[in-house]
Amino acid sequence: MKLKYTEISTMAAILLFLNLFVLSFNAQSVVHSFTTPSDHDFSYMQIVNDAADLPLEDKYDYIVVGGGTAGCPLAATLSANYSVLVLERGSAPTAYPNVLSEEGFILNLMQEDDGKTTPAQRFLSEDGVANVRGRVLGGSSMINAGFYSNADREFYVNSGIEWDMDLVDKAYHWVENTVVLDHINGTKVGGSIFDEHGRRHGAVELLNRGNPKNLRVGVHATVDRIIFSSKGSSISAVGVIYNDSNGTSHRAFVRGKGEVILSAGAIGSPQLLLLSGVGPPSYLSSLKIPVVHPQPHTGNFMYDNPRNFINILSPFPIQPSTAKIAGITDQFYIEAFSSTPISTTPYTIYGDPAQQTKINSSFGLIIMKPKGPLSYGNLKLQSSSDVRIAPNVQFNYFAHPLDLARCVSGMKKIGDLLNTKSLKAFRGTKGYKFFGPTLPLNQTDDASFGQFCRDTVSSFWHYHGGCCRKDG
């Protein structure tokens, strides 16, 4: 069945109402029973070592750089048949208990960045938009909003890759059986990696599915360089150099046909490639980095999904919750979050990193993300030698007119929602009370909505790209 746009947007609105209803009155009622024991399973801690305790030189079949959302499941599956080393610059989650609960979501975003091991590493893009990246075993899945969703079939069809869909489905089930509450197919009710007790089950728990005899994880292991070897005209990655927290340098090499797998996230991965000499030759030469492999697109095609929102101060207390349901149209996505009063605004929720204000009442954020985006920017190294110095990233939000048009229609839809019966409960006697931006009054004034989108843009934290061409 193919739905018309109006039907889809109505569905989005209904789902949003449902979400707000759920958030305000019964935050846990959409949570489906968890198929595995809901307590945290810390078995993976038996294979976690501080990098300082790892040998100065060692060999493995596979080396996984970055123990994050992608790195942990890759390492676990490979360990069934091969020896695997995972190198993660952050700490084990047990060092920062806020990463283990839904309640901790906001607290992680509020925590000052110590520049070394705090799990949410802050950065400000060149666009002036505040952002964060994960720096902990389990990666950004340990600080994210926990909303889990499968890609729709169209994504696979349009990807240009021939997928074995049975394997894809198996992979989804493998993840879902370990860390995710039910994902209801074909609806906009997503799964959640938070269980009914508010415990976060991030990608780190997928390490429990690996073979502990074959799997070794080093934390506080900052990979400095990828080591390449060349044979004739072909080059291959044969190892890495990484530093432990004492500054001691270690080397790890791959055996035989083994591989180095780079899963250091959308910012860490291109940064490491550039530092290791894989990138645009003229750019690398300008930084005096020896060119190992010319790759014109490393550091280019950096995308981030813009987020625009309104924040309604609730006239009555509401339960805190991350997003559980997304309203999805063919132009934009709408989600809602809620929070109890907070004393300082969490970094990046409101876009303006300097804003630190008390919010005295419960509040609900209605958030909109345009589909796409089509706009992109780039990543440039700030240091040509030190991986610990974060690169500069620019995303050029709304540079593509379609991104702006989608934002305008999404925010207008939020304007429509404010006039519905379902949201009436959140209106006080004098109308809605907002914290932060308010929508333009004239629902037909596209120019003002466009300005609103530009002025209030923040990040949805879904930055991606940076390692290859736009279409490959």
Ligand X SMILES: Cc1cc2nc3c(=O)[nH]c(=O)nc-3n(C[C@H](O)[C@H](O)[C@H](O)COP(=O)(O)OP(=O)(O)OC[C@H]3O[C@@H](n4cnc5c(N)ncnc54)[C@H](O)[C@@H]3O)c2cc1C
Residue of 47, 143, 206, 326 that binds ligand X (CB under 6 A)? 143
- Is 462 annotated to bind a ligand? Reply is yes
Residue of 30, 62, 89, 453 that binds ligand X (CB under 6 A)? 89
- Is 461 annotated to bind a ligand? Reply is yes
Residue of 9, 24, 91, 141 that binds ligand X (CB under 6 A)? 141
- Is 216 annotated to bind a ligand? Reply is no
Structure tokens at 322: 């991350």
Apex 71 CA angle, 66 and 73, nearest 5? 160
Structure tokens at 191: 């799964």
Confirm or reject binding of residue 150 to ligand X (CB under 6 A): no
User: Which value, in Å, is the radius of gyration of the alpha carbons in the chain?
Assistant: 23
Nearer to ligand X, 91 or 362 (CB): 91
Distance, CA of 168 to CA of 179 (rounded, Å): 17
Backbone angles phi, psi at 270, to 5 degrees: -65, -35
Least Å distance, CB 204 to ligand X, is 9
Confirm or reject binding of residue 88 to ligand X (CB under 6 A): yes
Task: For residue 68, give the nearest of 8, 130, 134 by alpha carbon.
Answer: 134
Q: Among all chains, which residue has been given the structure tokens 């305000």? A: 24
Instruction: Select the span of 93-101, 132-140, 352-360, 401-409 touching ligand X (CB under 6 A).
Output: 132-140
Least Å distance, CB 114 to ligand X, is 14
Nearer to ligand X, 440 or 458 (CB): 458
Instruction: Select the span of 126-134, 279-287, 339-347, 441-449 touching ligand X (CB under 6 A).
Output: 126-134
Which residues have CB under 8 Å from 458's CB, separation 6+? Answer: 129, 130, 306, 307, 308, 309, 348, 349, 350, 351
Task: For residue 172, give the nearest of 139, 196, 148 by alpha carbon.
Answer: 148
Binding residues among 219-278 for ligand X as defined by CB under 6 A: 222-223, 263-266, 268, 272
Residue 112's CB: how many other CB atoms inside 10 A? 9
- Is 89 annotated to bind a ligand? Reply is yes
Instruction: Select the span of 25-33, 77-85, 129-137, 174-182 touching ligand X (CB under 6 A).
Output: 129-137
Q: Among all chains, which residue has been given the structure tokens 């290791």? A: 276
Q: Which amino acid is at 193?
A: I
Least Å distance, CB 389 to ligand X, is 11
Residue of 24, 144, 178, 311 that binds ligand X (CB under 6 A)? 144
Site string for ligand X, 61-80 (x = CB under 6 A): ----xxxxxxx---------
Q: Which amino acid is at 454?
A: R
Nearer to ligand X, 450 or 465 (CB): 465
Burial class (CB in 10 A: 0-12, 13-18, 19+), 134: buried
Confirm or reject binding of residue 48 to ligand X (CB under 6 A): no
How close are the terminal C-alpha atoms of the chain, in Å?
Answer: 31
Pairing mode, if any, of strands 249-262 and 57-65?
parallel
Confirm or reject binding of residue 204 to ligand X (CB under 6 A): no
- Is 88 annotated to bind a ligand? Reply is yes
Q: In DSSP terms, which residues pair with 133 in a beta bridge?
A: 121
- Is 180 annotated to bind a ligand? Reply is no
Least Å distance, CB 108 to ligand X, is 8
Residue of 9, 79, 125, 140 that binds ligand X (CB under 6 A)? 140
Confirm or reject binding of residue 373 to ligand X (CB under 6 A): no
Q: Which amino acid is at 228?
A: F
Binding residues among 449-468 for ligand X as defined by CB under 6 A: 461-462
For residues 39-73, one letter each, b for 16 or more C-beta atoms within 10 angstroms of the residue's C-beta and e for the rest, the string is: ebbeebeebbbebbebeeebbbbbbbbbbbbbbbb
Site residues, ligand X (CB under 6 A): 65-71, 87-90, 132-135, 139-141, 143-147, 222-223, 263-266, 268, 272, 387, 461-462
Binding residues for FAD: 88-89, 136, 223, 461-462
Binding residues: 88-89, 136, 223, 461-462
